[in-house]
Amino acid sequence: MATSIPREIGATGLKFTRNHIIDDEIAPKLRFPRSIQSFRQMRSDPIISGSLFMIKQYVRKVDWGIEPFGGITATDEDKRIAKIVEDALFIHMDRSFDQLITDICSFIENGFAFHMPTYKVHKGNIIWRDIPTRSVDSIEGFDFDSRGRIKAVRQYMVNNTGEITQFSSSVTRIPYDRLLHFRTDSEKNNPLGRSILKNAYKAWYFKTKLEEAESIGVEREMNGLPVITIPAEYFAADPQEDPDRYAVLQEFIKIGQNARTNEQACVLLPSDVDESGHPLFTFDLVASKGTRSLDTSKIIERYDYRIAQSLLSDFLLMGSTSTGSFALSDNKIGSFVQSLEAYLEVIAEQFNRKAIPKLYQLNEWDDENTCKLVHKPIGSATLSELGEFLEKSAAFITPDQTLENALRSKADLPERDVDNLYIATPTATSQAISQRIGMLRSAETNDSDKEGSGLTEGNRGDDLAGKT
């Protein structure tokens, strides 16, 4: 009797309506879709922009390749198909793989990214034309089933009418199985993932507000605080009953707000005075009489460090601030690099689970034995560390051409040329070989002289015997 398959009970816990996610983020500006605009603003921060740039450069530097099914034991057919897939991804696409990786890396800062493979025919095989993105700010919502699984992505269409290109109100539905879905986190199967900038938002927000207040304070310190005096009846002027005095009041308020260099170059006041001879209107700049008790630089430095900590890039600040030291930088860089390799796995996983098997199906290849996208590690030992390792493990490693070429590549040396080998022998051995060659050549010369005179060892003996 066949065993029945247990049915699924319950759901993931993701809160959603029919087409939208109910985001439970505490900060309203971090709730989708407002979060996309917030992340765009955060990218203007030097620490955040520098960290994101470094992450993308690290990822772009990685070497990628296609490994055939079975690895070193792969059949000729598996190797042939793997070569087609490799050329399709790295050579024959309409744009370079490096540009594609840069585009995909947007999921790190936004939390998620959707890409849709397109195809073309090349030499009888169906290959990728491109794998373009579906911009995160064009995503309207998602279609879910009753269990919270994604069925489709809803995207605003682009309106190209006239000279202005913008998103229109019409929405298209893209089946989820047609998309590659890159995301930093898949908790509750949330399609939005979790941006690495969310943890930095609080520090960035307070730092931004503090920098604005600091700028205003510096400006007031340099220019002084505007103080304007006008008769009391102008303050009580009603805009309906006394529009003239009310207009004067508003004009002086505007003067006070714009009293800064190059915006309010001068102030023009009437010369009227009261009964005591005091001017009716006055305008003064009051300078500060002392320094502030708070060191805003220290506070901003603290927020910078918290932002860098949330991005695991605090080693960037070591040596430039009062926090941290160069002695800790190696360990922190190692942790940072290891975290980046998780993003590489996210990229490879979507290709190996969806993009490459789909290519096999379209070409009617055996999709049970698919090749896979692989990458070399980001973090690698220095030459001195590698040399020390090889010295300690020499008894356990058998040298071969592949290992030699890998070491040559690490040292930026050309691969071994098996057709033009130059073997350098030790000096003592070279001298012994040279002496041996000289002796052989001398012997050959003596033998040729004997042949020219008609004498050999044999007939010389016969001649001597005849004379006796």
> Which residue in this structure is represented by tokens 């340099």?
222
Residue 455 has a pLDDT of 47
Residue 465 has a pLDDT of 44
According to DSSP, the residues that pair with 226 across neighbouring strands are: 285
Alpha carbons 464 and 216: distance in angstroms, whole number: 122
Alpha carbons 404 and 398: distance in angstroms, whole number: 11
Q: 83 and 189: one domain?
A: yes
For CA atoms 59, 63, 64, 70, give the dihedral sign: negative
Q: Are strands 133-134 and 139-144 parallel, antiparallel or unpaired?
A: unpaired
Residue 229 has a pLDDT of 84
- Closest Cα to residue 152, out of 135, 181, 174? 174
> How many structural domains are present in the chain?
2
Q: 88 and 185: one domain?
A: yes
Look at residue 456 and tell me if it is in a domain: no
Domain termination site, one of 375, 399, 430: 375
Please provide the DSSP assignment of 175-192 as one string: EGGGSEEEES--GGG-TT
Q: 65 and 116: one domain?
A: yes
Domain termination site, one of 346, 375, 404: 375
Q: 36 and 172: one domain?
A: yes
> Which residue in this structure is represented by tokens 């050959």?
444
Burial class (CB in 10 A: 0-12, 13-18, 19+), 363: middle
Q: 254 and 350: one domain?
A: no
Q: Are 35 and 136 in contact (CB under 8 A)?
A: no
Each residue's pLDDT expressed in tens, for the chain with a length of 468 residues: 567 888 888 888 888 887 788 888 889 999 999 999 999 999 999 999 999 999 999 999 899 999 999 988 999 999 999 999 999 999 999 999 999 999 999 999 999 999 999 999 999 999 999 999 999 999 999 999 888 889 999 999 877 665 555 666 788 999 999 999 999 999 999 999 999 999 999 999 999 999 998 887 777 677 677 788 888 888 888 888 888 889 988 888 888 777 765 555 566 667 677 777 778 888 777 766 656 667 888 999 999 999 999 998 888 887 665 555 555 566 777 788 888 999 999 999 999 999 999 999 999 999 899 999 999 888 666 677 778 888 888 788 888 888 888 888 777 788 877 776 665 555 666 666 666 666 766 766 666 665 555 544 444 444 444 444
Residue 467 has a pLDDT of 45
Residue 466 has a pLDDT of 45
Taking CA atoms, 135 is separated from 16, 302, 387, in Å, by 21, 34, 46
Q: Is the peptide bond before 414 cis (omega within 30 degrees of 0)?
A: no
What are the residues whose beta carbons fall under 8 Å from the beta carbon of 171, sequence distance 6 or more? 140, 154, 155, 156, 157
Alpha carbons 275 and 214: distance in angstroms, whole number: 43
Q: 125 and 186: one domain?
A: yes
Domain termination site, one of 319, 346, 375: 375
Taking CA atoms, 29 is separated from 56, 135, 303, in Å, by 25, 19, 19
Residue 430 has a pLDDT of 60
What are the residues whose beta carbons fall under 8 Å from the beta carbon of 148, sequence distance 6 or more? 11, 12, 13, 14, 16, 188, 189
> Which residue in this structure is represented by tokens 């309106």?
159
Look at residue 282 and tell me if it is in a domain: yes
Q: 155 and 257: one domain?
A: no
Q: 132 and 254: one domain?
A: no
Q: 49 and 155: one domain?
A: yes
Residue 355 has a pLDDT of 97
What are the residues whose beta carbons fall under 8 Å from the beta carbon of 293, sequence distance 6 or more? none
Q: 138 and 33: one domain?
A: yes
Q: Are 154 and 142 in contact (CB under 8 A)?
A: yes
Alpha carbons 332 and 334: distance in angstroms, whole number: 5
Look at residue 83 and tell me if it is in a domain: yes
Residue 155 has a pLDDT of 93
What domain range is 280 assigned to? Answer: 225-286
Q: Which helix (H) or strand (E) holds 82?
A: helix 76-90
Q: 188 and 244: one domain?
A: no
Look at residue 438 and tell me if it is in a domain: no
In this structure, the dihedral spanned by the alpha carbons of residues 37, 42, 44 and 50, taken in order and rounded to 10 degrees, is: -130
Alpha carbons 329 and 343: distance in angstroms, whole number: 22
Cβ atoms within 10 Å, residue 150: 19
Look at residue 8 and tell me if it is in a domain: no
Q: 180 and 242: one domain?
A: no
